[in-house]
Amino acid sequence: MSFDTLGLSAELLRAVREQGYTQPTPIQTKAIPTILSGGDVMAAAQTGTGKTAGFTLPLLQRLSTQTSRRSAEQSSVQTGNQAGGQADRQTGGHSSAQTSGQSARQPNGRASASGRRPIRALVLTPTRELAAQVQESIQTYGQYLPLRSAVIFGGVKINPQIDQLRRGVDILVATPGRLLDHAGQGTVDLSQVETLILDEADRMLDMGFINDIKKVLALLPPNHARQNLLFSATFSDDIKRLAERLLNNPELIEAAPRNTTAERINQVVYPVDRHRKRELLSHMIGANDWRQVLVFTRTKHGANRLAEQLETDGLSAAAIHGNKSQGARTRALAGFKSGDVRVLVATDIAARGLDIDQLPHVVNYELPNVPEDYVHRIGRTGRAGREGQAVSLVCVDEHRLLRDIERLLKREVPKVIQPGYDPDPSIPAEPIKNGRSGPRQARAGGRNGEGRSAAAPGQRPRRAGAGGGSGRADEQRGSGGRSSGGRYAVSDGGRNAASDNGNRADGQAGRRSAGSQTAQRAANGTAPRDGAAPRPGSATAKRGHGRRQGADTSRPSTHRHPRRGRSQETPALLGGRDD
């Protein structure tokens, strides 16, 4: 089967041929006709099999066809209005107001207060890198179509994005946090969206992000008035049930069994002691002359440390994770693709959506705590029908994680002992630090992919602004900003001003109450003498330390921010990690 048989326009077929593609992948063969028919879709396919083109091509086809039809209708209406205007002038101009109202409408028949073209398609992604990749695909395949597209995500200045939105776009690719930032500032209007696409839907619809998804859905037309598409490489049964409630009788498309890896990826496990992992990794890269290696760690700190250690071993390396600025991440990725950087060390932020041409080697320096993340990690190699190698360095601490991965894959991963690196059987297993154990937890108050993460103790949640908005908090939830053990996280990154005002009012009330108690003690002769040290927790203790007497102890205490003078909840109850 060729792309010519899928019902795509000549402009799209021309763009596809220029990219060197002649035959569609299985997911494209099944998804493109279904999407063109206008139905909702929930599609699963192996990573690297062309999911992005599977929804990009039919989306461009539908929007361009409807644009042409509506433009013709608008021209017809305008011609009729002009003729009617002439007749009105001859009869006194009684219909001038009606003509003006009709000319202010968009081709789709909906009024636009700003007069610019409305956003007709919205693509949500969990990470900045994936958003940029989707936008690149839209521009590549839609280069011969009269459609405009834009991508917005955090970590960069928000003002250029506002300017682009004001000029009008047909297709908007966004991460949820930055999209909600724009919605809060009134710089984006989603009321006329005709198609909603959730890419990497398993992560997008996971419990940690469902609140953001609900907020975005509230800004869109009703479910029945739009087309909804969900694409991902993996789907748990819980995610399937959740997605089915959000879609309208969706058609499930599976080009391969769920949670499987590409057949062309050669997977192998090297058992090794935990303290010899870096030594073995450097040895394998040097001895086998690997020129391009993507290495995954579990934490951001671990990624930085490993990159520095590899540099001392004489290997050019760079780290990429959620704490890096967008510019640093872009430079590291560009250097890796060009060959200037030999080893790219990444957290799971890079496991979703990165398309590195002909990447030969992926190494799991540390196994992920979630088995599905293993599928996404090794899916960076063996893409587009090419072969790849996925190596996992497994110590005694990770045997349970390996069993979970093999249970997901429904097969055992071959194990090879590297000569000279035999694991010591006398070393006991230790708990995995800074990692998430067990199944995927609900992540309160966190957003993966742009926006604000839960504040760390003593820190204030980030606010969006002209200077960069979401900043480096992007994807921290996806990399592991999870709450557990009954802890709580600040929701919405401090966006709720009413709650903020309430906290300030509670603090003021507590101070007034504490002040009255001090006056009462003074009248009774029990107040502390001048120069005497106040008791810990008393009303005269330093502001922001301990509990104030008379304050509402059912709520977290408040303190004054040292720079901005704004009160916030003391983050002693905050939980979760950044990786």
Last residue of a domain, one of 233, 254, 275: 254
Question: What's the pLDDT band for 109 if we cut at 50, 70, 90?
Answer: very low
E-strand stretches of 175-292: 195-199, 227-232, 251-254, 265-271
The DSSP secondary structure of 291-337, one letter per residue, reads S-EEEE-SSHHHHHHHHHHHHHTT--EEEE-TTS-HHHHHHHHHHHH
Strand 195-199 relative to strand 227-232, pairing: parallel
* Coil, strand or helix at 405: helix
Closest C-alpha to 274, from 343, 406, 373, 367: 367
Alpha carbons within 13 A on the beta-carbon side of 95: 15
Ramachandran assignment for 114, one of left (phi > 0), alpha (psi -120 to 50 degrees), beta (any other): alpha
Last residue of a domain, one of 390, 409, 428: 409
Give the pLDDT of residue 334: 87
* pTM exceeds 0.75, yes or no: no
CB-based contacts of 163, cutoff 8 Å, min separation 6: none
Whether 524 is covered by a domain: the verdict is no
Which range (281-290, 325-334, 396-405) has the least confidence?
Answer: 325-334
E-strand stretches of 379-538: 388-394
Whether 499 is covered by a domain: the verdict is yes
Same-domain pairing of 250 and 269: no
- Report CA-CA distances (Å) from 50 to 15, 57, 353: 15, 11, 11
Read off the pLDDT of residues 460-494 as tens digits, 9 standing for 90 and up: 444 444 444 444 444 444 444 333 333 333 333 33
Whether 290 is covered by a domain: the verdict is yes
Same-domain pairing of 295 and 405: yes
Q: Which domain holds residue 477?
A: 441-511+537-579
Question: What's the pLDDT band for 155 if we cut at 50, 70, 90?
Answer: confident
The token duo for 17 is: 């041929």
The DSSP secondary structure of 18-34, one letter per residue, reads HTT--S--HHHHHHHHH
State the Cα–Cα distance between residues 52 and 305, nearest whole angstrom. Answer: 33
Same-domain pairing of 19 and 159: yes
Percent of the chain with pLDDT over 70: 61
Whether 516 is covered by a domain: the verdict is no
DSSP state of 369: S
Closest C-alpha to 104, from 115, 96, 88, 119: 115
Give the pLDDT of residue 576: 40
Closest C-alpha to 450, from 209, 289, 256, 227: 209
Which range (24-33, 305-314, 455-464) has the least confidence?
Answer: 455-464
Last residue of a domain, one of 230, 254, 278: 254
Give the pLDDT of residue 471: 42
E-strand stretches of 309-464: 317-320, 343-346, 361-364, 388-394
* Coil, strand or helix at 409: helix
Q: Which residues pair with 560 in a beta bridge?
A: 567
The token duo for 100 is: 């003006």
Give the pLDDT of residue 231: 83
Same-domain pairing of 279 and 346: yes
Give the pLDDT of residue 440: 41
Whether 163 is covered by a domain: the verdict is yes
Whether 356 is covered by a domain: the verdict is yes
Mean pLDDT within 294-303: 93
Asked if the model's pLDDT at residue 271 lies above 90, the reply is yes
Give the pLDDT of residue 500: 44
Mean pLDDT within 131-148: 94
Question: What's the pLDDT band for 260 if we cut at 50, 70, 90?
Answer: low
C-beta neighbour count of 147 within 10 angstroms: 20
Give the pLDDT of residue 472: 41
Which range (41-45, 196-200, 400-404) has the least confidence?
Answer: 41-45
Which range (33-47, 110-124, 221-235, 565-579) has the least confidence?
Answer: 565-579
Same-domain pairing of 466 and 379: no
Asked if the model's pLDDT at residue 339 lies above 50, the reply is yes
Give the pLDDT of residue 67: 60
Contact 259, 232 (CB under 8 A): no
Same-domain pairing of 191 and 299: no
Give the pLDDT of residue 505: 46
Give the pLDDT of residue 469: 45
* Coil, strand or helix at 80: helix
The Cα diameter of the chain in Å comes to: 101
Same-domain pairing of 452 and 371: no
Give the pLDDT of residue 376: 82
Whether 449 is covered by a domain: the verdict is yes
* Coil, strand or helix at 573: helix
Same-domain pairing of 446 and 490: yes
| CATH number, position 126 | 3.40.50.300
Read off the pLDDT of residues 415-441 as tens digits, 9 standing for 90 and up: 999 999 999 999 999 998 654 433 444
Same-domain pairing of 163 and 15: yes
Mean pLDDT within 259-270: 79
Read off the pLDDT of residues 496-516 as tens digits, 9 standing for 90 and up: 444 444 444 444 544 444 455
Give the pLDDT of residue 579: 40
Nearest 5°: phi and psi at 317?
-140, 155
Give the pLDDT of residue 134: 93
Give the pLDDT of residue 200: 82
Same-domain pairing of 385 and 463: no
Give the pLDDT of residue 1: 76
Same-domain pairing of 229 and 334: no
* Coil, strand or helix at 14: helix
Of 64 and 551, the structure prediction assigns the larger pLDDT to 64
Q: How does the average pLDDT of the chain come out, rounded?
A: 73
Give the pLDDT of residue 379: 82
Question: What's the pLDDT band for 129 if we cut at 50, 70, 90?
Answer: confident
The token duo for 32 is: 């493109």
Q: Which residues pair with 346 in a beta bridge?
A: 296, 320
Contact 138, 13 (CB under 8 A): no
Percent of the chain with pLDDT over 90: 40
Asked if the model's pLDDT at residue 311 lies above 50, the reply is yes
The structural domain count of the chain equals 3
Question: What's the pLDDT band for 365 if we cut at 50, 70, 90?
Answer: very high
Read off the pLDDT of residues 26-36 as tens digits, 9 standing for 90 and up: 889 999 999 99
Same-domain pairing of 240 and 339: no
The token duo for 439 is: 């199944």
Closest C-alpha to 564, from 511, 482, 512, 504: 504
Query: How long is the chain?
Result: 579
Whether 521 is covered by a domain: the verdict is no
C-beta neighbour count of 450 within 10 angstroms: 31
